[in-house]
Amino acid sequence: MRAARARLAAAGVPSPAVDADLLAAGVLGLGLGELRAAALRGTALTAGQAGRLAALVARREAREPLQHLLGTAPFRGLELLVGPGVFVPRPETETTAGLAVEAAAQVARSGRRPLVVDLCTGSGAVALAVASEVPSAVVVAVELDPGAHAWARRNVDAHRSAERVRLVLGDATSAEVLPELDGTVDVVASNPPYVPPGAVPREPEVRDHDPALALWGGGEDGLLVPRGVVARAAALLAPGGFVVVEHAEVQGESLRGLLAPPAWEGATTHDDAGGRPRATSARLARPAGTCAPPGSAPSQ
């Protein structure tokens, strides 16, 4: 274990001790607490276990994502299946999911079943978080990339709320996707690609392993896809419906501009757990003279 930690530290892995422990726990089929107890007892690895651990440490040294090596990624209490071909869900996206969960929960508290659409679902993280945390919610998740869609399919099929999650292969920005839902949706959430063309991600795990389709947002500012998502949300949402879109730290002002009056109300940028501006929300404006429906949540 000391050798594994030292190798990962020398390779510049951000959390070498945790990563080494998780890899060893995976090889041994133990939880972290059990692993540490075994280490304190001086438990030896078999030759086969030592070989498998060494191979995994070598792959992590080469900055292959830890989640790919483990086969799962944690997200708001869920364990999502991930691997090559799908964007690994990040802690900052838990902020986006939490805003969608709260908006859906407020609709549920009014006595209605919330209808939620997750655009650019990737692994299905946001969609499954909403379905898990708001038991009455009906969720539709849209993904363009067939590879990512296959991972989302695995996660939806493995989830206990699978019957309430509908997965669609298609372009989240196209009016031809979900036209039957236009004007009826309570919440739209999205973690779209938003990286500008000149901003190469620093982390090798992202730059070399996340699908390009999940990273590059298009256009000179990286906001071509987010603009399409906002336009699609405007069509999908019922008046007063809630939208939340994840973005880069420097894009909050631009997103608030996209979610401005008269079409939108209450655009607000929210910090993630690390204090970085990471998601912007708003509500679709209601026609003049109409009142908010019962249970409608205020702007976040």
**Residue 188, CA distances (Å) to 68, 75, 139, 201, 220 in order:** 29, 19, 10, 27, 25
Q: Is 143 annotated as a binding residue?
A: yes
Q: Is 194 annotated as a binding residue?
A: yes
Joined together, the tokens standing for residue 249 give 């730290």
> Which among 204, 193, 187 has a CA at the least distance from the CA of 248?
193
CA distance 121 to 123: 6
Q: Specify whether the CB–CB gap between 125 and 97 falls below 8 A.
A: yes
CB atoms within 10 A of CB 173: 23
Q: Is 89 annotated as a binding residue?
A: no
Q: Is 192 annotated as a binding residue?
A: yes
At 243, which amino acid appears?
V
List binding-site positions for substrate.
191-194
List binding-site positions for S-adenosyl-L-methionine.
143, 191
List binding-site positions.
143, 191-194
